[in-house]
Structure 1
């Protein structure tokens, strides 16, 4: 089928070569000049070369590969603020916890020291209060000097400040559970947020350190996940923050998950030459899992749609794309274009074509062969 467009030219050339020498040569069926190929008889190409105007598609759709991670706005990695040994684990992987729920208990000498400091500060504060009251009474009766009262007041203020400091440290470490006067070295590790325990990295009797780099628990809200995307330079014109996302997971081929593009990076990654983007996706039924690889369709509606061409009209040459644009019937120009990613047989035009251009949609390979052959002759 594709070879038929050049068959008349080949037969005419053969007849000229084999005929009598006195017969005048037949005119060339086409000629090539630069990027232009023109046919002597425009009607000769009508059955094999189809020309159509470029059309405008609907919403710009871009297919990307993404990776799901926990929503960091609703995720907390729980590290121990004190060193110690795991005495008891109060929850497990996959359980739902509320803010302030007990996750584990650590036997911690550091926490015991903090408890002892608080108890001692409380005792000193009570003693300072009693001493201040006694000196005030004596001073009122003239049995104590003014200097003794001032000293008692200063001791009282220092004791109160130390008591508040040590209690604040216990509140920071252990919340309300740490406010009693016991010194038991039992540090309560509490959940700072409500959610699902999605990771647990401790065992009974394990020694843990306050400067460790691995969280003991990870608590997150799995009802919404982040999807991380990499957008190439060529596709930057097709995406924008706020675009609707449709997420497809290989585990659920017949399901679609709705999302939205939240952030588009300000610069390119120098190693991958891509822009990092981030979106959110609703995790209906908890089907999606963190670290899943997914396919994401990003839609960015544009006023009036955008120019698209059929994929069959595109000539690919060493990474560059060309289409044949009709200048007039029988005359076509080989035009370089910048294109987006193909989807469902259509390719979005980034640059290179006018809105009223007419391009060859059938027979472009035959024109390419004729152009290449004509250019070499």
Structure 2
């Protein structure tokens, strides 16, 4: 046998083997059919595995999830601004350091504060002079040299000078001055806590008129063992999140951990921009796992009326009408209009159209709705007119949002 004949034989053998090994095409599964208003799949249809169902449960309480944000507890927070213009001479504390009332945070060289100290010193001198003048006037009056009105004028001058001393001393004492004129303004803590923010540098020039809305304070001192929780509540939760109500806080960066908080204030108006009610809660943070400005989710147990609870993704909207796809028996589905009493991001309350124990499609609902619509279109207007599909308007379901 020639080499050419051998090559042809080998090629023919390989081609024959490839043909034998080629898998046979599987027949397409039979399509689901319409039986009245019901959409029926043949047993073991592969599409059934893609349709997840959920059972409607009797309504008792509903877990409401609301966006929240952690901030410093303003009842335990102090923000420090300069009362006088000056230059930063020394920074005594930094972020993370604990402080007590009277702890010096920074020292400013402040000529303006020196003026206030000088005013106090001058007022003290004037008061001493006024007291001496009063003593002389009293002696002269007792000797009959001056009239009573001169004595009364001296008494008034002494009283005014003493009042000026008290005012000037109170002003300088408020900012830590103990006497004398040294132009050293100390920024001190007024509460127990931790320095959580510092916004000044050595040698920085400071002016009180530069401080205002949007300008950060020089220091922020807070007690991080307690934080505020700012919750944006929907209008429907106005009666649930009242002062004294408890809530559970979940933080994405701390998975698996739950924190208990309590509401202590709620606004009496709705924010026109977000259409939410501002609710403020407080939460303990003894181990300091929670940090200010963390985003979180507040969960509240809400008592609801009669009805059944199903997953939110099991409900679709057609125009202004809500509807679900009910599994009346394995492989058999029918669309049904429902009325909702509450809509949450994960669960909804159905008050009409569904009974406890019934099963609804909760996964790939729109896929099933498109199949149902295609079956309606295939059946033609005669089937719809005959009443075999009283819910034929559900054909718009796939277009619903």
Which TM-score band (shorter chain)?
0.7 to 0.9
The 1:141/1:312 distance shift into structure 2, 3 A limit, reads closer
Question: Offset of 1:325 from its aligned partner?
Answer: 7.4
Whether 1:219 aligns to 2:200 is no
> Partners in 2 of 1:306 and 1:196 — Cα distance?
51
Question: 1:1-377 alignment to 2 at 5 Å?
Answer: 6-7=32-33, 9=34, 29-30=35-36, 37=37, 54-172=56-174, 174=175, 177-180=176-179, 182-211=180-209, 212-213=211-212, 214-233=216-235, 236=237, 239-241=240-242, 242-294=244-296, 296-302=297-303, 307-310=308-311, 313-317=314-318, 321-323=322-324, 333-337=336-340, 339-343=342-346, 347-349=347-349, 352-353=351-352, 359-361=358-360, 369-370=371-372, 373-374=375-376, 377=381
Distance 2:271 2:83 in 1: 35
User: Are residues 195 and 326 of structure 1, via their aligned partners in 2, closer, same or farther at CA, if it must alter by over 3 Å?
Assistant: same
Q: What is the TM-score with the length of structure 1 in the denominator?
A: 0.74
How far 1:203 sits from its partner (Å)?
1.6
Q: Distance in 1 between matches of 2:217 and 2:311?
A: 52
TM-score by length of 2: 0.70
8 Å contact from structure 1 (residues 52, 358) kept in 2:
no
By percentage of residues, which structure has more strand?
1
Q: How many residues align?
A: 334
Are the equivalent residues in 1 in contact too, given 2:309–2:348 (CA < 8 A)?
yes
Secondary structure of the structure 1 residue equivalent to 2:255: strand
> How much does 1:284 deviate?
3.3
CA distance in 1, matches of 2:85, 2:142: 51
**Structure 1 residues without counterparts, runs of 5 or longer:** 10-28, 31-36
CA distance in 2, matches of 1:331, 1:199: 61
State the distance in 1 between where 2:31 and 2:269 align: 49
In structure 2, runs of 5+ residues without a counterpart are: 1-28, 382-401
1:59–1:299 CA contact under 8 A, matched in 2: no
Residue by residue over 1:245-282, the C-alpha shift from the partner in whole angstroms, topping out at 9 and shown as x without a partner, is 22222332232222123344433333333333332222
Q: CA RMSD in A?
A: 3.9
Partners of 1:58 and 1:4 lie apart in 2 by 42
